[in-house]
Amino acid sequence: MRGEGLWQLGQSITRRLAQVDKKVVGRRYFASEAELKKTVLYDFHVANGGKMVPFAGWGMPIQYKDSIMESTVNCRQNGSIFDVSHMCGFSLKGKDCIPFLEKLVIADVAALAPGTGTLTVFTNEKGGAIDDSVITKVQNDHMYIVVNAGCRDKDLAHIEEHMKAFKAKGGDVSWHIHDERSLLALQGPLSASVLQHLTKDDLSKLYFGEFRITDINGAHCFITRTGYTGEDGFEISVPSENAVDLAKAILEKSEGKIRLTGLGARDSLRLEAGLCLYGNDMEQHITPVEAGLSWAIGKRRKAEGGFLGAEVILKQLAEGPKIRLVGFTSTGPPPRSHSEIQDEKGTNIGEITSGGFSPCLKKNIAMGYVKSGSHKAGTKAKILVRGKAYDGVVTKKPFVPTKYYKPS
């Protein structure tokens, strides 16, 4: 399932649940349930009103009892907890794990201080994005990495292929895939104060992008101050046997203000924050430069290269890309993935990759690729929805200001 369909599917389910018997909807939407993988929180989701849908081979909650609109707003006003255990976390270890990883990603991994991380991109030989990922340097001989659920198989095969070649030449690197762990994302302005009740560590000293291994609610956790909403928050890797208890404890300590939140609101939150969704806004034929992620290419890497596709990417940095990912606001119905973008004369200049109605801004927002020259903020355009052209304008991202917790 493409991410741009999450918001639409969530709205569709909401309408149908209001109109017909839930068992009928269940048979229609959950027909492949037996074939889907389940996180350890699956029964907990169902017990709390989670409406489960297939996503990247998993049965995941698209929403709960409240609407996607309500969940999105509550995350920004109070907080949300998301089950993101379908994503794949793994560790690379060994004295050569950093030079190995630098062959595969655009980040200056060597320059990261222990306990810090960054967004990066795994690239192919043509400079295209295999996946985007958050990587963290635990120690100089230990990297912790989280990749997207829908990319897990191809990512792990790609890494394993290069690891075999690297080790054959004497490189010291090994890996462990953390299938014994679950992953919870706690997001929103109340996230730190609520989580502080469950750990002795001083979270006021853990800043955006930083990582710590600590006990939370009595469980040995990996915690990163990051997220996918634009809000302050944490991603918590917890032993699977402790995941449900941790989710319950967070909800209890928040006194109902932090709510279980599904993939539908997660999609609208990340779009409001101007964050890419792999499979929509990034693909194997799109480079990090075209996707607006030149900032993620380390300064040393820009000078030296040394990663897959570096020749293509460094040329784009020098000469400029032919297409660029930009934000849009628009009139009429919300644009969707593959909506055509035209200039004011009716000439095709690009395509929408993600779009929807912003619950927080109460207007249409979208992202899409346009030809260079048509990418500057304020540029007027026409966006085709169901064959009809509506006014759009290139708009700076993020649409909603980010609230990451950084040193003052």
Going by the annotation, the residues of the binding site for substrate are 235
DSSP state of 130: E
Measured distance CA(271)–CA(400) in Å, rounded = 9
DSSP secondary structure string for all residues of 156-189: HHHHHHHHHHHHHTT---EEEE-TTEEEEEEEST
Interior angle at CA 89, CA 117 and CA 292, nearest 5: 50
Task: Look at the block and give the residue holding tokens 């759009």.
Answer: 392
Measured distance CA(363)–CA(85) in Å, rounded = 31
Largest pairwise CA distance in the chain: 64
Going by C-beta distance under 8 Å and a sequence separation of 6 or more, which residues neighbour residue 153? none
For residue 172, which of 91, 89, 92, 90 has the smallest C-alpha distance?
A: 92
For residue 52, which of 77, 22, 81 has the smallest C-alpha distance?
A: 22
Would strands 219-224 and 211-216 be described as parallel, antiparallel, or unpaired? antiparallel
Going by C-beta distance under 8 Å and a sequence separation of 6 or more, which residues neighbour residue 92? 100, 101, 142, 143, 145, 173, 174, 175
Burial of 273 (0-12, 13-18, 19+ CB in 10 A): buried
Feature table: binding site: 235
Measured distance CA(278)–CA(348) in Å, rounded = 24
Would strands 380-385 and 340-342 be described as parallel, antiparallel, or unpaired? antiparallel
Measured distance CA(271)–CA(225) in Å, rounded = 20
**CB contact at 8 A, 83 and 61:** yes
Within its chain, how far is the Cα of 127 from the centroid?
21
